[in-house]
Structures are given as structure tokens and as C-alpha cells.
Amino acid sequence: MSTNTRMAEIMQLMAKEAPPKAGLWETILPRISKGTVIPVISSSFRIEQIFREIAAQGELTVVEQLVAQWAARIEYPMQDNYDLARVAQYHLVEQNDDPNARTEMVNFLKLIFLAMVSTDSDTREQASILRNKIQEKRFSDLVTELEYPRFVDPAEDPLRVLARLPLPIYVTTSQANFMERALMAENKTPLTQVCFWSGEISNMSPAHRTDPDFAPTVTNPLVYHLYGLEDYPQTLVLSEDDYVNFLLAVVEDINMLNPKVPLYVRRALGESQLLLIGYRLSDWDFRVLFRFLLKFRTDGFSPRGMLIQLRERERDLSSENALRYLGRYFGKRTFDIEWSDAEAFIRKLWSEWDAYRKNQ
């Protein structure tokens, strides 16, 4: 028997005896039980649920349609009027980076939301009342008071489904407190913390001041707003310059006593399974988020340490091609991709977790 033939037989035998590769859910579910999974939730996920009544136009998403309407309102002169980072960049330049200009997109969302609900006879009167209080109300306040987004059963709200998981930390790039409200609806007491990447805020609420000693639990979880909170316009990451400055501020931060991102959050991001939900490969918020997260991933961390849920309609590349693209772009292959609708993914996640916990 030749050496090559003998080696081939040995390799076949090893392949048969090798333990099967753990599946996606077999990897995630035990970590959920240990509390070492962190959902990372996009801003567009909730926005698209709120404005789901807006019909799709061509290839533009709901968020892109909203940005295009804002661009028309501020007379954005270029063709990429659906790109939030570029439209926001134009607006800030035109307004000489006036801090008040950062609230314009949020205020526009308020206006267009109230205009949408004004067409509904059930909410028209309440919307008219709230329009007079638009300056004192946060976007999340208006949405909640008018009971949006609408679900047949409020308990099936995907954010509430995520909130039911026994997890101590949630990260979001949303500038609204929708995740906190979902957690409170599940009888939990979340702590809101904000990444003050642009510097300390004089009017900061004591409740939002960074607490380096906070120990999040399942009943008292952390919600960390990476791209700012609507309460503090200076913290909002909207424009191209904002994304660049955000990365410079947090990735090159060497202050170990009072870092921009608390040490316990850094450690958790480096050691936990991350579930990125509701992002798109081409968007600024995803690309910057991914680079930020890789900063805190430990060397040699499991290739399944990060799962990225991407919308099925974007599947113009195969999963393997997308993995190769991301591997080249970001330099590390520390992730899997799940092509699906975000709501469907969350429902599947809960279904798998519910079956798992009942069998323990």
C-alpha cells in the first residue's frame, strides 16, 4: 500500500471519529443560560416597525425613504439623498455644526410620525394634542403614548421577546429607549448608560452617569447606548464625521480610570456571544460598529463568537461570499451570518431557547 493511500485512509478515519461541528443554536443556547450572550440591536429595526405602513418604493428601505424625505426638507443637493450619514453631514456643515442641528432628524421623525398617525381615525385626536407638545416630548414618548408599533399581541413585540431572555446586558445603536421600555414591560429594572464619546455633558442625568461599579443582572440589566441617546444631542452619532470621531474617541481611548466605554462593558463585549440584529452590510452604523467590536474581541476567540443577522432581501451574495468579503474588509473571521428577517430571527431564537430551557 502506498504512503499516499495509507495517509488518505488515516484522514478518512479521523474525519469519521471527529466530533460533529456544533450547530448555530447548540452554540448560542448554553451561553444564554449562562448570561454570556449580548444582543446588539440596530436603530433601524425599531424605526421600520414603527413606520411599517410606509410602502416600499423600489430598492429603498423604510429608513432610507424617511432620510430621503428629510433630505428634501433641508434641500440636500446630491443624489444619494437616502444616505443618513451623508445627509446629516451636509446639514451639520450648513448649520456650522450647531448642537441644535443634531436634533433636526429626531424632530423630523416626530413630525412625520404624527402626520402618519393623523390619518388614522383612532389616533387622529391624540396626535393633534401631542403635536402641541412636540418640543417637550421625546420621539420614544410619542411612539409609546400612541401605542406604536402595533402588534396583534403586544407581548409578541420582538423587543419584548428579547427582553424575556435571561441576559444581563443589551447594547443598542438606537438613540431611543425602546429596549428599556421592553425590559420594563417584562418586569425588569434596566439601567440606561450612554457612550459619551464626545465628552461629558453638563446636564447629564445622575441616572445616566457612567457607573464603573455597576454589576448588571437578569432582573437589573444594562442597556448601553453606543451611538448616543436622544436626551443628549451631543452624543448622537449621525454624520460621517461623527462616525470617524466616535471611532477615534473610543478605540484609541487609553484612559483606564474613566474610559469612554466602561471596563466591564469592554470585558463583556470581548467574552460574550454577540448577536447583531437588524443591520445592513453597506451602512455606516454597521461598518463602524463592527470595527468597534473587533477592538474588544480577545485573540483566538471562537469563530462563532459573533452572529450577524442580515435581511434576506439583501442576499445578493451567497453567505460564503459575504463571509469572505467581511473577512477581507475587517481582517478577522470571527462571525457567522444568518440571512433572515429580524423579527423572524428573534422568534426563532425564542422558540429554540424555550425548547432548550424546558429540556434542562
- Check if the beta carbon of residue 85 is closer than 8 Å to that of residue 286: no
pLDDT of residue 331: 53
Where does the pLDDT of residue 256 fall: very low under 50, low under 70, confident under 90, or very high at 90 and above?
Answer: confident
Where does the pLDDT of residue 338 fall: very low under 50, low under 70, confident under 90, or very high at 90 and above?
Answer: confident
Mean pLDDT to the nearest integer, 340-345: 89
pLDDT of residue 13: 43
Q: Which residue has the higher pLDDT, 6 or 237?
A: 237
Q: CB-based contacts of 349: which residues, under 8 Å, 6+ apart?
A: 28, 161, 162, 165, 275
338 vs 341: CA distance, rounded Å: 9
Share of the chain above pLDDT 90, in %: 53
Residue carrying the nine cell digits 389616533: 123
pLDDT of residue 189: 98
pLDDT of residue 227: 97
Mean pLDDT to the nearest integer, 228-249: 94
Mean pLDDT to the nearest integer, 310-326: 60
- What is the residue-averaged pLDDT of the chain? 84
317 vs 174: CA distance, rounded Å: 27
pLDDT of 3 above 60? no
pLDDT of 21 above 60? no
pLDDT of residue 314: 57
221 vs 215: CA distance, rounded Å: 9
* E-state strands within 261-340: 273-279, 306-310, 336-339
Q: Which residue has the higher pLDDT, 296 or 184?
A: 184
Mean pLDDT to the nearest integer, 336-351: 87
Mean pLDDT to the nearest integer, 193-215: 87
Kindly list the distances between the CA atom of residue 322 and the CA atoms of 28, 135, 156, 307, in Å, as whole numbers in the listed order: 21, 43, 31, 13
117 vs 53: CA distance, rounded Å: 10
224 vs 167: CA distance, rounded Å: 13
Of 86-90, 297-301, 353-357, minimum mean pLDDT range: 297-301
